[in-house]
């Protein structure tokens, strides 16, 4: 009796979602054009912080846009996948689809953020060098930095587009770069913002300041590479320890599938396998946190 009711609920939810998306698709283009015409030349409204601010922040830092714009759709699909997992695999399937998608999404977003941030730090000295050349040619500091943003490459150009938009709205360049540095939470970016703020408040030779920033960033990058080379053995050991149980389980599943399937068909065996999976996930997270401290 429970499964037919759940199927009816899934069908009704999909029907309601499709009707909502259809009506929204009919209204949205006209509404968007009207709002764009009305907002031309007007200051942007202040967006109140919500409980999803952290999620928006993580996705923005990873270059994935704002997830809350389609949050209802994604939560609906996640709920439907949980129900399908319950139908297909029972309670283990429901538990797996309840926990694995958020965990995999968190790991993917963090990986995207780290890779994007590393590329941005590599591009930052070139942007500062372009700013120094512009300053020596007679341009102001703000014009030099904004011109360097236009000449930069992605992902740094796309990320610093936030700074450029804020400056065009009337926010000072030091405040805009400080907001940018707090968003991406990196020491090199904080040094860049701090240097602009000090120069804006107390004056001084801006080109010499940016040249010193270039030197500091390159020295930090060199030190990070040396540390990565010195801890390479430790990181390889951690990867081997994380992959060894999964590899052994995969080998047993290929060479003797009846062994694991016999455990899966038994209730106590299912509990043991789920416990082993939970311990494996906990161990991988512990090793990951240990590696981050290096």
* pLDDT tens digits in sequence order for the chain, 294 residues long: 555 555 566 666 666 666 666 666 666 555 555 555 544 444 444 344 444 677 778 888 888 777 766 767 777 877 888 777 777 777 777 777 788 888 888 888 888 998 999 899 889 999 999 999 988 888 888 888 888 988 888 888 888 888 888 888 888 888 999 989 888 888 888 888 988 888 888 877 888 888 988 998 888 888 888 877 887 777 788 888 888 888 888 888 888 888 777 777 888 888 888 888 888 888 888 877 777 666
pLDDT at 231: 78
pLDDT for the residue 236: 83
Token duo for residue 201: 């408040």
Q: What is the pLDDT of residue 48?
A: 44
**pLDDT of the residue at 21:** 61
CA distance 112 to 125: 21
pLDDT at site 27? 60
Q: What's the rounded Cα separation, in Å, for the pair 281 and 242?
A: 9
CA dist., res. 95 & res. 80, Å (int): 13
User: Quick one: pLDDT at residue 45?
Assistant: 42
Calculate the dihedral angle through the C-alpha atoms of 137, 140, 143, 148, rounding to the nearest 10 degrees.
Answer: 50
pTM, rounded to two decimals: 0.63
pLDDT, residue 41, reads 44
Contacts of 98 (CB under 8 A, 6+ apart): 82, 85
């Amino acid at each position: 009796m429970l499964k037919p009711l759940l199927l009816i609920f899934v069908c009704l939810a999909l029907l309601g979602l499709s009707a909502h998306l259809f009506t929204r698709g009919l209204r949205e283009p006209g509404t968007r054009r009207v709002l764009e015409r009305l907002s031309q030349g007007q200051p942007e409204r202040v967006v109140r912080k919500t409980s999803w601010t952290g999620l928006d922040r993580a996705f923005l830092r990873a270059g994935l846009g704002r997830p809350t714009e389609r949050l209802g759709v994604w939560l609906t699909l996640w709920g439907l996948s949980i129900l399908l997992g319950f139908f297909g695999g029972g309670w283990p399937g429901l538990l797996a689809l309840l926990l694995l998608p958020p965990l995999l999404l968190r790991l993917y977003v963090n990986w995207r953020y780290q890779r994007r941030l590393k590329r941005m730090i590599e591009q930052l000295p070139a942007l500062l060098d372009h700013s120094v050349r512009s300053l020596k040619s007679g341009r102001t500091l703000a014009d030099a930095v904004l011109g360097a943003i236009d000449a930069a490459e992605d992902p740094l150009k796309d990320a610093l587009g936030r700074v450029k938009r804020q400056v065009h709205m009337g926010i000072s360049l030091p405040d805009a770069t400080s907001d940018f540095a707090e968003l991406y939470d990196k020491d090199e970016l904080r040094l860049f913002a701090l240097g602009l703020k000090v120069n804006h408040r107390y004056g001084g030779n801006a080109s010499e300041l940016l040249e010193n920033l270039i030197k500091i960033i390159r020295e930090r990058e060199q030190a990070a590479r040396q540390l990565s080379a010195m801890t390479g053995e430790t990181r390889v050991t951690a990867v081997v320890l994380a992959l060894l149980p999964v590899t052994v389980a995969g080998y047993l599943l290929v060479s003797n599938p009846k062994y694991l399937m016999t455990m899966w068909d038994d209730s106590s065996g299912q509990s043991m396998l789920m416990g082993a999976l939970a311990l494996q996930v906990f161990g991988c997270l512990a090793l990951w946190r240990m590696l981050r401290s290096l």
